[in-house]
Amino acid sequence: MHGNYHKATDQYVNLLLDVIEKEPQELGYEFGRWTAARLATYLEQETGIQLSGSQVRRILKSKKSFTSGPNIA
């Protein structure tokens, strides 16, 4: 992996992949779609691992063909 997103543990990546399958409202948020920045913020709160939105986006692109979806802006 390139850049700081090597800090993302398997647990972080698995949580990321789980979270993008959920509506943000299911986790108590008022917004309707995830952005990479919102995902990064949520995952930092849950894991303590601080990554940028662009790093989260790169992880998603490397793991699945997610560039957008029903819950991702």
Domain extent listing, the chain: 3-63
- Rounded CA-CA distance 52/20 in Å is 16
Closest CA relative to residue 52, chosen from 36, 68, 71: 36
Per-residue pLDDT tens digits for 18-41: 999 999 999 999 999 999 999 999
The pTM of this model reads 0.80
If one counts every other C-beta atom within 10 angstroms of the C-beta of residue 36, the result is 19
Cα dihedral angle (42, 63, 14, 50), rounded to 10 degrees? Answer: -40
Look at residue 73 in the predicted model and tell me its pLDDT: 62
